[in-house]
Structure 1
Amino acid sequence: MTQHVLIVDDTQINLVLFEALVKRLGTCQAHTFLSSTEGLVWAQTQDSDLVIVDYMMPDLDGIAFIEQLRATPGRESVPVLMITANDQKDVRYRALNAGATDFLAKPVDRVEFLARVTNLLALSDARRKLSDRAAWLTEEVRKATHEIVQRERETVIRLSKAAEYRDPETGAHILRMAHYAKLIARELGLSEAEQELLLNAAPLHDIGKVGIADHILLKPGRLTVDEFEIMKLHASYGYEILRDSASEILQAGASIALGHHEKFDGSGYPNGLRGEAIPIFSRIVAVADVFDALTSARPYKPAWTVEAALLHLRTQSGTHFDPRCVAAFLALTEEALEIRERFADDDWPSLLAPL
């Protein structure tokens, strides 16, 4: 492999000598500059394995050269060999502080020059191999992490399918509301990682309904007061099912399950939380879940129009819903309607594929 050596010196005879010595190493290509400013531009834009720079130069001396080189992203660890006079110890100290790696004293001894250049090139080669190894490890970690996330998503899908067999309000509903939730999170400025976490965890919001008896869960008419008290337990059931998982997705799902029926004014359940005491994911899911429930037909009610559902969100902003979450959803109504159209079908297996 060819190694690239940059040589910067304002004396032509020195450039010729250093270039000839570098070429004797056999695997090196020398790049020479009489102008320190031109050499710096090359060093900042091209990869080099070693920089040899003189101290005494017009325009930009060796120390200023090193300082500007080290300030360039990606050039923090390129070996730099500075050439100074024997009596310039103070210059060497300043050069070390600036980032010089090694020194050569004038007049330059050829044997010493070749030895120091060989050692610094070996250092550069080791640095490059270490960097390549780090990049390889990073990619391996990324692959392993991706596999873990895929397994977690499969877990979400299977848990959601378990709820599907018991609750007529699942199916395409959980995908629409999950994507609505991601829209709201994006508008609120949550990070991309948080948006993806919410998208993957939101389908678990009603997993606790697996613990509700069929005669209550599937009742076509209005629930009695006692039946509704039992139905409300699904929030706590979902939390208990998911809370002890080591999975970040299932942990987020536990929090959402527990809090998505809390209301901004404190009148919700199970804990009567108020305002920002309700976790942000739960506040977001509350808006997404209600909008989709209202605009979907159920055994006990016809679907509301989109306009009526949006009006409900507006009128309940600050009481049932976090006003910021409502405003974020209203700002993205067109995108929400595209999601509604996209996941209109109840072909459950194919609808789950995007997760």
Structure 2
Amino acid sequence: MTVDAEIHQARILVIDDQEANVQLLEGLLHAHGYTNVKSATDSRQAIDQYAEFRPDLLLLDLMMPHLDGFQVMERLKPMIADGDYFPILVLTADMTLPTRQRALASGARDFLVKPSDATEFMLRVRNLLETRLLHLKLQEYNRTLEQRVRERTQELEDTHLEVLERLALAAEFRDDDTGQHTRRVGESAAHLALELGLAGAQVELIGRAAPLHDVGKIGIPDAILLRPERLTPLEFEVMKTHTTIGARMLSGGRFALLRLAETIALSHHEHWDGTGYPQGLAGEEIPIEARIVAVADAFDAMTNDRPYRQALTRKEAWVILWAGAARQWDKTVLEALESVHWREEAMPAAAGGALQPVL
């Protein structure tokens, strides 16, 4: 079965007290091939409908009699397993900042203002369902690995790597439509690890785990992730959760690669002086792999175009990095990056002046 077919088999639950709105949403979904749709105009039925239908996506109005959308989300929380990715798309005419912030804090993954553009609505539905499908596949794959750990083969190992690589790309495509940032960070991190004298096996693991550093961005709403303006304090708090979301998604793995990816996802925003997040680690309390990825990630983000700004020159990036030495970044890792780039610039023109993979 193709990915497209799997997505269109997804179960979608619509909760809105206005019959006209329900009919409009059902009509749009059916017109785009989503036929497994249930709805309710009485929000008191939401919990029973969820328990019976087990939807993959909830389309939820906020302003409703009996139970409003916030109360529905609160009652659903105990029914959603820890680490489960259940997307809720809030549809509301109230797009004031307090309402949006409260919706995000209550468990919404995304929101749209009513009336919404039909094309944008369908794109967001598909995006949330694709993420849900990837998350379910990863969960199922981890269960399969648990059952077959004693008979692991090279084919399973290759498939495992491919799933992780695709998961990294799924997160990366959210804010980099080239999908190249994660690849570059992986290659750069491997070069830094080699320059710092880490063992060959550890260098390879870092190179493969580093692209998953931002996998938790899968759980950050587009309205925050792609916002070109400065985030509000509450929005930044939501953005910061990509570290813990990523760590939870990768947790519990038996393989060294998954364990290292979990460590990197959790700690790559820690600062040398202890002012980073999420744990406020300082100095060598921060795992060396996370310190390496922090530098590789920062340099690549600075020197390539991102949704929120244009690329800086290498000179401009170096000024920022060295200004943060021994505060945000490990000075030793910055020195390693400088050595790697010095050799890169010294390469003959015929070599293209580009880092070559070391994996």
The TM-score bracket by the shorter chain reads 0.5 to 0.7
Provide the residue aligned with 1:70 in structure 2. none
Q: Across the two proteins, how many residue pairs are aligned to each other?
A: 204
Which whole-Å CA distance do the structure 2 matches of 1:145 and 1:285 have between them? 29
Provide the residue aligned with 2:227 in structure 1. 219
What is the Cα-based RMSD across aligned positions, in Å? 2.6
CA positional deviation for 1:166? 2.1
CA positional deviation for 1:340? 10
CA positional deviation for 1:312? 1.7
One of 306, 330, 333 as aligned partner of 1:298: 306
1:221/1:171 CA distance change after superposition, 3 Å: same
CA positional deviation for 1:162? 1.9
Provide the residue aligned with 2:194 in structure 1. 186
CA positional deviation for 1:307? 1.1
Provide the residue aligned with 1:171 in structure 2. 179
* 1:327 is the counterpart of 2:335: yes
1:154/1:289 CA distance change after superposition, 3 Å: same
Deviations 1:165-204 (A, max 9, x none): 4232771111111111111111111000000000000000
Q: Give the aligned residue type for 1:283.
A: R
Provide the residue aligned with 1:229 in structure 2. 237
CA positional deviation for 1:145? 6.2
CA positional deviation for 1:331? 0.9
Give the 3-state SS of the residue equivalent to 2:306 in structure 1: coil
- After TM superposition, the structure 1 = structure 2 runs for residues 264-283 of structure 1, keeping only pairs within 5 Å, are 264-283=272-291
Which whole-Å CA distance do the structure 2 matches of 1:180 and 1:330 have between them? 12
Q: Give the aligned residue type for 1:180.
A: S
- After TM superposition, the structure 1 = structure 2 runs for residues 305-320 of structure 1, keeping only pairs within 5 Å, are 305-320=313-328
1:145/1:190 CA distance change after superposition, 3 Å: farther
CA positional deviation for 1:227? 0.6
CA positional deviation for 1:148? 4.5
Which whole-Å CA distance do the structure 2 matches of 1:354 and 1:183 have between them? 7
Provide the residue aligned with 1:92 in structure 2. none
Provide the residue aligned with 1:104 in structure 2. none
Which whole-Å CA distance do the structure 2 matches of 1:172 and 1:306 have between them? 18
Deviations 1:293-315 (A, max 9, x none): 00011232111001111222222
Which whole-Å CA distance do the structure 1 matches of 2:157 and 2:291 have between them? 24
Taking structure 1 as the reference length, the TM-score comes to 0.53
Does the 8 Å contact 1:176/1:340 carry over to 2?
no
One of 249, 253, 258 as aligned partner of 1:241: 249
Deviations 1:41-92 (A, max 9, x none): xxxxxxxxxxxxxxxxxxxxxxxxxxxxxxxxxxxxxxxxxxxxxxxxxxxx
Which 5+ residue runs of structure 2 have no aligned equivalent? 1-151
Does the 8 Å contact 2:212/2:265 carry over to 1?
yes
Provide the residue aligned with 1:160 in structure 2. 168
Q: Give the aligned residue type for 1:201.
A: A
Query: Which segment is superposed worse, 151-160 or 250-259?
Result: 151-160
Taking structure 2 as the reference length, the TM-score comes to 0.53
1:340/1:309 CA distance change after superposition, 3 Å: farther
CA positional deviation for 1:160? 1.3
Give the 3-state SS of the residue equivalent to 2:230 in structure 1: coil
Provide the residue aligned with 2:39 in structure 1. none
1:329/1:354 CA distance change after superposition, 3 Å: closer
1:176/1:267 CA distance change after superposition, 3 Å: same
Q: Give the aligned residue type for 2:160.
A: E
CA positional deviation for 1:282? 0.2
CA positional deviation for 1:246? 1.8
Which 5+ residue runs of structure 1 have no aligned equivalent? 1-143, 344-352
Which whole-Å CA distance do the structure 2 matches of 1:241 and 1:221 have between them? 28
1:222/1:209 CA distance change after superposition, 3 Å: same
Does the 8 Å contact 2:270/2:286 carry over to 1?
yes
Give the 3-state SS of the residue equivalent to 1:210 in structure 2: helix
Which whole-Å CA distance do the structure 1 matches of 2:290 and 2:220 have between them? 21
Provide the residue aligned with 2:294 in structure 1. 286
Does the 8 Å contact 2:172/2:215 carry over to 1?
no
1:169/1:270 CA distance change after superposition, 3 Å: farther
* 1:203 is the counterpart of 2:211: yes
Sequence identity, in percent? 44
Which whole-Å CA distance do the structure 1 matches of 2:319 and 2:344 have between them? 15
CA positional deviation for 1:146? 4.4
Does the 8 Å contact 2:172/2:182 carry over to 1?
no
Give the 3-state SS of the residue equivalent to 1:332 in structure 2: helix
